Amino acid sequence: MSSSSATEAREIGNRIVVAGIAAIVLILAIAAVLLFINLPDANAFNMRVERLFVENDNLTSNAEIKLLEILAGSGTAFSDTLASYRFVIFVLLIFATALLVAAVAFLVMLIALNRRMGRIERQGIEVNSLTISRDQKAVYLNDFEFKLTDAAIETLSVLAEARMDDEVLTGAEIEGVISGRNAADCDEAAGATRIKRLRDTLGNQMMSELLVKNIARKGYVLAIDKDVIRMI
């Protein structure tokens, strides 16, 4: 139930991220379109001068017409400048889009990381990797190395293989796989003993790594923050 709701939440989160990024891109695309529509086009000044020329019947002398042409020319030069401004603004808009998209992505990543941190804090330890090394008789949980006996390694391997196949083994089945006999002929208690031994060896070492640290030639120390110790 909790895992299904978790995946559901993740799906909803992904949808929100996609929607948010789409909204950002859409808003900035609309802004870009408005920018290109609203800026006066290069011909606006010429049209203005032309209208001035047509509407005033007494603007006919050569000098006046030359002046109007110069006016139109400077307007055109200014509109060229505007076009370059428009390009610069457009580039800035693209930058803004990229930054906003990155910001949203990072925000979501931060939230996800926070949730994961919270889960790790609650669980105490989260296994990110489990490596079984048969020849060194050791198992690596995250960065911790645990030395195990042959029997414990055997039990752990069987459990790991079963886990990879999504199988649940009874004590008798474990004993059967390890001893090579038929599971029906095996005792349930024998398997339970194997599990208990594995738990003992692994559990004791894990506790010693997590809680009681052994500093060579000095002694033992609690490997936890002072503030979390409480006496009742």
Partner 1 sequence: MKTLSFSFMALMLSTTIAQAACYADYKAKQDDPLRLHYGVTEVRGDCSVRSAESQLRDRLANDGWQLLNVLGVFDDAGLDERKDSAGEFFLRY
Contacts with partner 1, residue ranges (CB under 8 A): 43, 46, 49-50, 53-54, 57, 60-62, 65, 68-69, 72-73, 76
Judged by beta carbon, residue 52 or residue 210, the one nearer partner 1 is 52
According to DSSP, residue 124 is labeled S
Judged by beta carbon, residue 76 or residue 157, the one nearer partner 1 is 76
Q: Of 37, 41, 24, whose CA–CA distance to 93 is shortest?
A: 24
Judged by beta carbon, residue 57 or residue 165, the one nearer partner 1 is 57
Q: How far is the CB of 88 from partner 1 (least distance, A)?
A: 25
Q: How far is the CB of 29 from partner 1 (least distance, A)?
A: 31
Q: How far apart are CA 183 and CA 139, in angstroms?
A: 26
Q: What tokens were used for 146?
A: 């645990």
| Distance between first and last Cα of the chain | 36
Element (H, E) at 141: strand 138-141
Q: How far is the CB of 37 from partner 1 (least distance, A)?
A: 22
Q: How far is the CB of 72 from partner 1 (least distance, A)?
A: 4
Q: How far is the CB of 86 from partner 1 (least distance, A)?
A: 20
Handedness of CA 28, 34, 38, 40 (dihedral sign): positive
Q: How far apart are CA 57 and CA 144, in angstroms?
A: 95
* 201 CB-near residues (< 8 Å, 6+ apart): 146, 148, 149, 152
Q: What tokens were used for 167?
A: 């199988």
Judged by beta carbon, residue 50 or residue 187, the one nearer partner 1 is 50
Judged by beta carbon, residue 62 or residue 128, the one nearer partner 1 is 62
Q: How far apart are CA 176 and CA 194, in angstroms?
A: 12
* 191 CB-near residues (< 8 Å, 6+ apart): 169, 170, 171, 172, 173, 174, 175
Judged by beta carbon, residue 73 or residue 118, the one nearer partner 1 is 73
Q: How far is the CB of 80 from partner 1 (least distance, A)?
A: 12
Judged by beta carbon, residue 3 or residue 81, the one nearer partner 1 is 81
Q: How far is the CB of 39 from partner 1 (least distance, A)?
A: 19
